[in-house]
A and B are shown apart, each in its own frame.
Chain A
């Protein structure tokens, strides 16, 4: 029964992703039917849609655009108290929290150090956060398309035009899907209103403030764009964000939809769909393994707390299975939305979630970001094993040489640097230690989870941890920036370097980058180069906690 449910879920996911990939390949290739509107739109914005960008120009456009986004969002958050559409009279955000929140949404992390209903006005939600949900996702998608072109397009100098790719991502992919999902969610009972909170008298006579607002629109894009920042503080565990099993399923599907479609889009753009399937397979294998672990541990529960599934921090209406699926998906896909409290999952479930983030969010990952992150591992895997067939390593006919390896290593360094160094400081500085809620290895896991989540631009958290601490709002803001741009820029560099190389025709002497052998190799590369680095810290966190739990101790 469980297996059947999972199978149906994946069948639905893969088939919709395949259709979407076809649509995306048309959109990014330039659909004549949409060209008129698109060109007029771009011309009005002062962009020449025919201008082709080298990787450097492309990267500068990404950075410039994101910088403007950051400044605007920061200003809105600071000034929201004086701005309209604020029926609940919420004041301006303090500087460190506004910095953290602005960075968080611009980098597609959606780490929420704030509580939505208490600290963000409707204007900030709509004009600030929801807009960023679209354009930060669009940025990731545009970068991925630029990177894919570098890997797959014929020899040339340019990766396309960032503004065109961004516009196409938002207008023709994110917007239509969000409208469909938003309407569906509103039908399922998610509020979409500009009226303020409702004050109600509960059964026990106490007065209760029920928050509401323009939620459906934001939740749709929060899932589709792997943003994850909820309208309400407890995210999709809140009955208004995720009221029914149907809404839960729709959100679970839309969470992985675009990241999975990117695998197939890669295959289409490479002109060899097996290449896309190979990357998908590597991601799927790791995802399935992780999901298995979480499912088994959550359904089995903690005998120390009584029989039955582990239901602490989970919604009764979803249960252990749907919560496990969500937890695996949201950490794999760099989404970060939650429908249960990750802090309360079993230790090894927490380990899986952390590993998913620590390897750089490459198991489906963020929209676009997951694919280009995985391409980083592909470059390393091809380089390491490619030598073993007796040729200069090649991927899709292009040689992987010193320049590509240098850039890949640079990008690759950002994960251990941010997580380990950031985490190490957070475990020693007294100002940072104040955030830890629980003693022992579980408290350690909370810190580790936070820094892994921020670096991986995931945004989910081990809930017990005090994220609003000034130390962490600043440190995590910096880590989020590094986790985003220290990967985007080198990868665009790799793409820019590859596209200048001639594409060699494949022969039987060519290293095969499709099929089970390559998938195994890629998975092993991710595990050995990515996950193994974090084994010492994982041993001190979730593994120590698990061994203690087995011995009958809880934290």
Chain B
């Protein structure tokens, strides 16, 4: 199944969502969304009143039913948005569920028992602590830990990555996930998850939204929306008294229409869709959030702890430059370096050969009869002995000095020092007892990383590089990559300390990790992303799991979190700003009978009181459905400082929210007049 976008069967999703928007009218479901519940109540009331007027032949029944129609549409549109957002997750959940079939598994009495003595049980009855024997072709029945043996496992069902990974007893690669397939060999695994509580179960529940709990910001926003609804309830409920004092009456239907247009239906209707869609974006990025809270926290992160290897650098030292000793021809040095590395299969060796190819135009052929001298911890050298007795060597400075009995000439020694100072690794190259020059090995920073960190800095996020390197090397790479700080010779304890220090300063910290010894730091961090390839301890401690095991994902997670919050804020602002225009549409319409002078408030020049009220109600419904794509996709987000973001979003959603309804209501009014509907 891999990436989610393949499974998006759009027409199917739409029709399913349309169906659900009707079933979601169930009051027990609507109740969870107070704003839409209230809207539905008003819609029902308006319908009843319209029907009553229709039966009794009272004039105005048509308008009442027309208003009721649009009020119902408003509720249906909100349900549709939510159903559509949920539908995307359901599609993925179905494919996940397909891997979770009921099978017979072989349970052992103890880990060392003979597989032939195993008893067969149904996979769904497995209990925590039982030992299961799984061999090539078997589907791993549930989450567990390898306690014996070693196997290659195809985890594509969970991660989308088709290359099998090795799982073995002991160490950091012992965890196995339910739903994955053993590709070769066998293991004995200890069940670590209760039935129905496995990683796969949790993932299904999560993407389906079944376990969706409102996040802290969502709860706060909901309270505000309920508060605003209450305020407008006071406004509308007291209006008949004020109107009757002023010698006019306002029909209940009109009051209901005014109420619904004033309460924040736009954000109220889209709020849950925004939340679900945000989680869905994470799922698309192949990250599983254990809670919505973690996604929101990701948006709040102030400090990112990033592992150097894999995130910032490629993880291998590579040949950067070759510096020849005084009087030595560059080509001779390149050739010697290449020969010394020809048989060297390490990434460093290969990069030296590659560098030599660049300089010479071709790789020197392997001389016949040459013997490879491998690197050992004792000699700290490697190279090639040619059949004619010549010896090519490359290695650590002191090792080459010991071997050749010579010290590098002054100019070269200065170069060696410079390389070491810059955080690189100098390798001396020698032919027999002549030192030819030095190879500068360095960690290569991934392209684009520097720009990424500059963006993060603009967003106010500090990046801290975590590395096992010595401080000198770490400082050089940190400067090159443009991180704000680094932690050299890092141990898990130091990571934990760093996180605590940052948190004590009031900062929220995000990190990623995979090993068991990362677990405390992952648990301490506000946002912990565990690599799916990591240990179950790490996965347990983290609040997000990256199925691709890509440490750069952390940055993407932060972006998704921010986008989620921005979408909510932008649509709330838009929704509230809309009220200004709605007041100016409805108020003159209901008061003009009492005070004809109040027609001056009709600044949009709407045709009649009826068309004004209808236009406001129709706009209210249409704007909701028009904003569904924005709610699902999320507001466009480019990294920028908070001040820039605020200015831009206030302009677009605040000012836009003030202006758009004036234009929209006027346009609808013109249509109504043209179509003779009001």
Contacts and interface: CB of A to CB of B under 8 A. Distances in A.
Given A383-B224, A444-B245, A537-B242, 7 more contacts: A384-B576, A385-B569, A400-B220, A402-B216, A504-B508, A511-B642, A543-B598
A510 B642 contact: yes
Q: List 6 tightest A-B contacts by C-beta distance, closest first.
A: A509-B460, A387-B569, A547-B597, A390-B562, A409-B227, A507-B460
Contacts of B242: 423-424, 427, 444, 536-537, 540
Nearest to B601: A539
A18 B216 CA distance: 39
B235 A536 contact: yes
A428 B243 CA distance: 10
A424 B653 CA distance: 35
Nearest to A512: B643
A192 B568 CA distance: 61
Contacts of A521: 646, 650, 654
A412 interface: yes
30 contacts: A383-B220, A385-B649, A387-B568, A388-B653, A389-B566, A389-B569, A390-B561, A390-B637, A392-B296, A392-B300, A392-B565, A401-B216, A401-B217, A409-B224, A420-B235, A421-B238, A424-B241, A427-B244, A428-B245, A441-B246, A444-B246, A509-B459, A512-B643, A517-B647, A521-B646, A529-B228, A533-B234, A539-B587, A544-B598, A551-B597
B642 A385 contact: no
Interface in A339-393: 380, 383-392
B573 interface: yes
Interface in B593-623: 594-595, 597-598, 600-601
B591 A544 contact: yes
A140 interface: no
Contacts of A179: none
Interface residues of A, number: 64
A179 B34 CA distance: 55
B643 A405 contact: no
A505 interface: yes
B299 A409 contact: no
A511 to B, nearest CB: 5
Contact of B642 (A389, A416, A528): A389
Contacts of A417: 234
Nearest to A502: B506
B587 A409 contact: no
A385 B230 contact: no
A517 to B, nearest CB: 6
B219 A388 contact: no
Contacts of B459: 390, 508-509
A413 B642 contact: no
A507 B505 CA distance: 12
A34 interface: no
Interface string A479-515: 0000000000000000000000011110111111001
Contacts of A423: 238, 242
Nearest to B599: A547
Interface in B611-655: 637, 641-643, 645-647, 649-650, 653-654
Contacts of A512: 642-643, 646
Interface stretch (B88-96, B513-521, B577-585): B577-585
A309 interface: no
Interface in B437-463: 457-462
Contact of A391 (B219, B228, B300): B300
A468 to B, nearest CB: 21
Contacts of B1: none
Contact of B230 (A391, A413, A504, A536): A413
A430 B245 CA distance: 11
B646 A511 contact: yes
B646 A510 contact: no
- The secondary structure that dominates the B interface is helix
Interface of A: 380, 383-392, 397, 400-402, 404-406, 409-410, 412-413, 416-417, 420-421, 423-425, 427-428, 441, 444, 502-505, 507-512, 515, 517, 520-521, 524, 528-529, 532-533, 535-537, 539-540, 543-544, 546-548, 550-551
Interface string B355-382: 0000000000000000000000000000
Contact of A385 (B221, B226, B641, B650): B650
Nearest to A535: B583
B220 A405 contact: yes
Contacts of B458: 508
A547 B642 contact: no
Contacts of B239: 536
Given A388-B573, A389-B566, A536-B239, A517 B591 contact: no
A150 to B, nearest CB: 16
Contacts of B457: 508
Contact of B238 (A385, A420, A444, A507): A420
B572 interface: yes
A509 B565 contact: no
Interface string B20-47: 0000000000000000000000000000
Contacts of B597: 544, 546-548, 550-551
B590 to A, nearest CB: 8
Contacts of A532: 579-580, 583
B231 A416 contact: yes
Interface string B537-557: 000000000000000000000
B569 A388 contact: yes
Contacts of A383: 220-221, 224
Contact of A540 (B507, B563, B595): B595
Nearest to A433: B245
A219 B568 CA distance: 51
B385 interface: no
Contacts of B478: none
Interface string B187-231: 000000000000000000000000000001101110110111011
B393 to A, nearest CB: 51
A504 B507 contact: yes
Contact of B223 (A402, A520, A536, A544): A402
B145 interface: no
A420 B235 CA distance: 7
A399 to B, nearest CB: 8
B650 A539 contact: no
Contact of A424 (B220, B238, B579): B238
Given A505-B507, A508-B459, A535-B583, A390 B563 contact: yes
Nearest to B647: A517
A380 B224 contact: yes
B570 interface: yes
Contact of B565 (A391, A503, A547): A391
Nearest to B646: A389
B344 interface: no
A517 B643 contact: yes
Contacts of B226: 409
B246 A507 contact: no
Contact of A505 (B231, B505, B591): B505
Contacts of A503: 506
B303 to A, nearest CB: 10
A524 B573 CA distance: 11
B224 A517 contact: no
Nearest to A428: B241
A390 B587 CA distance: 36
B616 to A, nearest CB: 14
A392 B302 contact: no
Nearest to A418: B234
A364 B353 CA distance: 76
Given A384-B573, A509-B642, A517-B643, A391 B235 contact: no
A508 B646 CA distance: 12
A383 B302 CA distance: 19
Given A507-B302, A509-B302, A385 B646 contact: yes
Nearest to B302: A507
B650 A548 contact: no
Contacts of A502: 506
B642 A392 contact: no
